Amino acid sequence: MDVADVAGVPAWFADHLREAGIAELYPPQAEAVEAGVTDGESLVAAVPTASGKTLVAQLAMLAAVRRGGTALYIVPLRALASEKREEFSVFDDNGVSVGVATGDYEASGEWLADRDVVVATSEKVDSLVRNGAPWIDDLDCVVADEVHLVDDPERGPTLEVTLAKLRRVNPNVQVVALSATVGNAGDVAAWLDAGLVDSTWRPIDLRTGVHYGQAVHYGDGSQAELRVQSGEKPTGAIVRDTLAEGGSTLVFVNSRRNAEGAAKRLAETTDGLLDADERDRLADLAGRLRDVSDTETSEDLAACVEQGAAFHHAGLATPHRSLVEDAFRERLVKVVSATPTLAAGVNTPSRRVVVRDWRRYSGDAGGMTPLSVLEVHQMMGRAGRPGRDPYGEALLLANSHDELDELLDRYVWADPEPVESKLAREPSMRTHLLATVASGFANSREGLLEFLDRTLYATQYRRGGDGTDNLERVVDSTLEYLDVNGFVDGVPGDGRLEASSLGHTVSRLYLDPMSAAEIIDGLESAPEPTALGLYHLVSRTPDMYELYLRSGDREEYTKLAYEREPAFCGDLPSEFEEERFEDWLSAPGDIRGKVDTADWLLGAAESLAAELDLGNVPAIRAARKRVQHGVGEELIDLAGVRGVGRKRARRLFDAGIETRADLREADKPVVLGALRGRRKTAENVLEAAGHQDPDMDGVTPDGTAEPADPDRTATADEGQGQANLGDF
């Protein structure tokens, strides 16, 4: 089907597509048009990665806007919101206004009301619905990108409930749900009362297999030699082999740290295979990466890029990400090692994909668990650039013959799993039930049941095999919990049901009601809480994902717990209650990954303490400051100056500048020395502190103020900045 023949879509869009080299719709896109996606019909499009789902959504939204309506595009990750914004920039150029809703959970986003198209994460949409944003009940088209993520235990329920709410307030809304190929796309379509395009079509052939020993074993039974030289890792060998054919490689690993480590190693491989021109351009790119920020990540990334490799993960600054993505698309960067964020929608195809890690750490399981077939297939789907590569190739890596067999069975020959609602998980049910009552979506048990009947959970599981009503059972036990803890008022029977004032607060704070109950309990038993006590308190709530004690930690933490027993909120459980004690002890875990959550939870604790008039607000606020800046008490003042942060605070402190007031009066050469000669940074910092004359022109850095050895300082910073249990 020619793009110009699609009825209901403005002519400029067809022109735009043609300019971008898109003249014919891909077969699944044509099927979607035939199914009425441009006439306002709801549709689930379950097609492989990189098969043009975005275009289906664009056609639907533009047709809706042309009919005088508005559209909402729901993305699963914040990082993807800006990606889509860019993709839709041509809309703005042609009079279709686009807004991106990010930022605060609580903002009502009124300015979005006059946009034709809004892009937002499901969390943001959920909060807009909860806060009663007026434009939310005036939507004509809702796109749910990556709708298979309703299966995700953490974030799926929010998407599921949000879609149910949007459909409730907009009874005739068109829902366009984009999904990877899943085992049961029909269930999703039945849930959304939508048509279905379920296709395995891909624009370019994909060969999948497993590398083992000195060869690739393809899924079709064929083999090809791919030798690993001595001293080389298989991933390095694959990158080298791909480069020899003029292709690039995308390597998926399971953590940010591994992404950085892999890029460093692979840089050694690519370094020897660059020509002089590439080396110049890469040096230039490295310079631009360093200019983005004065951080270790920036430096590490630039150092890899100089040698032709890069890493990519959600911890990168936006300019870092786009520079890396662009250079990879241009094939200047030869290999990127990435966490799966990149598989989730960033369009960076490459000749080969290596799924190096097929297991990841799971707190729930307390160890490494295999990735789902769906996740691995999505990563594999990034292989092959239509029109440029003859085919795409995606490989897993095996260390033994048994593992080769296992990987072929588990991933290469396997079909993706069905999508299953996770709404009935207790934390999700508690949170969403309370929110539904608090935002007035339901004001009786019956009303709740009626609303929840619109969820995927109800479609899939409402009726148990023995005729029991699973939904009623879960709702009743959750309501009882909310009632006992004082979050809802009214009899959880057939009478009127509403959120208590505390319940409203908890819902507004986005807390799992169980976390709120634990925080309240802890605060009530500790009128003068310590920072350690507060930190431990928020860390043992279900909203803080759990980590397990590493061997050796137990003994150290037990000792510390006894030494500092009076500092904790509430009683220490007995050491002989094995499981409870272990849980209690492991609560603070690895602080680095928890800082943001802790900040948020301490903010919530502050609101709860204020609401209940507990009187410990100042103590909570101080503890929160320390967590926000990731610093010990002595650095709080400095780290609060804009542009300083924990590392620079440490450097300035070590150079004798200990407070904001010191900084305001500071000797410029000392400041410049402590900030490693970075003039612009030093000027900004002095300006923020209110220094009379921040200008650094002609100032020579004081050598004695310089951090002695940047590497050593960096490590010391990690230790000092990222507090651990002993620091409090």
Does 143 help bind ligand ADP (rule: CB under 6 A)?
no
Instruction: Provide CB contacts within 8 A for 236, sequence distance 6+.
Output: 228, 265, 266, 268, 269
Q: Closest distance between ligand ADP and the C-beta of residue 158, in Å?
A: 21
Q: CA 421, CA 406: separation in Å to the nearest integer?
A: 28
Beta-bridge mates of residue 251 = 337, 354
The DSSP code for 592 is: G
Q: Coil, strand, or helix at residue 317?
A: coil
Whether 248 and 338 have beta carbons less than 8 Å apart is answered as no
* Cα–Cα nearest to 509, from 103, 106, 78: 106
Pairing of strands 141-144, 335-338: unpaired
Question: Would you say 150 or 696 has its CB closer to ligand ADP?
Answer: 150
Does 270 help bind ligand ADP (rule: CB under 6 A)?
no
State which of positions 344-363 bind ligand ADP (CB under 6 A): 347
Q: Closest distance between ligand ADP and the C-beta of residue 88, in Å?
A: 12
Q: CA 386, CA 389: separation in Å to the nearest integer?
A: 6
Q: CA 445, CA 495: separation in Å to the nearest integer?
A: 8
Does 53 help bind ligand ADP (rule: CB under 6 A)?
yes
Does 681 help bind ligand ADP (rule: CB under 6 A)?
no
- Count of residues binding ligand ADP (CB under 6 A)? 13
Question: Would you say 26 or 191 has its CB closer to ligand ADP?
Answer: 26
Does 51 help bind ligand ADP (rule: CB under 6 A)?
yes
Does 108 help bind ligand ADP (rule: CB under 6 A)?
no
Question: Would you say 22 or 716 has its CB closer to ligand ADP?
Answer: 22
Question: Computed from CA positions of residues 293, 299, 304, 307, in that sequence, does the dihedral angle turn out positive or negative?
Answer: positive
Does 701 help bind ligand ADP (rule: CB under 6 A)?
no
- Options 24-32, 313-321, 450-458, 474-482: segment touching ligand ADP (CB under 6 A): 24-32
Does 26 help bind ligand ADP (rule: CB under 6 A)?
yes
Question: Would you say 293 or 347 has its CB closer to ligand ADP?
Answer: 347
Residue with tokens 């309506």: 69
Question: Would you say 25 or 302 has its CB closer to ligand ADP?
Answer: 25
Question: Would you say 114 or 205 has its CB closer to ligand ADP?
Answer: 205
Q: CA 309, CA 282: separation in Å to the nearest integer?
A: 10
Whether 194 and 163 have beta carbons less than 8 Å apart is answered as no
Question: Would you say 45 or 301 has its CB closer to ligand ADP?
Answer: 45
Does 119 help bind ligand ADP (rule: CB under 6 A)?
no
SS (H, E, C) 679-711: HHHHHHHHHHHCCCCCCCCCCCCCHHHCCCCHH
Question: Would you say 84 or 207 has its CB closer to ligand ADP?
Answer: 84
Does 25 help bind ligand ADP (rule: CB under 6 A)?
yes
The DSSP code for 367 is: E
- Options 18-26, 399-407, 439-447, 672-680: segment touching ligand ADP (CB under 6 A): 18-26
Apex 91 CA angle, 328 and 144, nearest 5: 75
Give me the helix-helix angle, 318-329 and 296-306, nearest 10°: 10
Does 49 help bind ligand ADP (rule: CB under 6 A)?
yes
Q: Closest distance between ligand ADP and the C-beta of residue 30, in Å?
A: 9
Using the rule CB under 6 A, which residue among 35, 43, 46, 55 binds ligand ADP?
A: 55
Does 54 help bind ligand ADP (rule: CB under 6 A)?
yes
Question: Would you say 75 or 128 has its CB closer to ligand ADP?
Answer: 75
Does 235 help bind ligand ADP (rule: CB under 6 A)?
no
Burial of residue 595, with CB atoms counted within 10 A of its CB: 0-12 exposed, 13-18 middle, 19 or more buried: middle
- Options 49-57, 479-487, 509-517, 662-670: segment touching ligand ADP (CB under 6 A): 49-57
Chain residues binding ligand ADP by CB under 6 A are 22, 24-26, 29, 49-55, 347
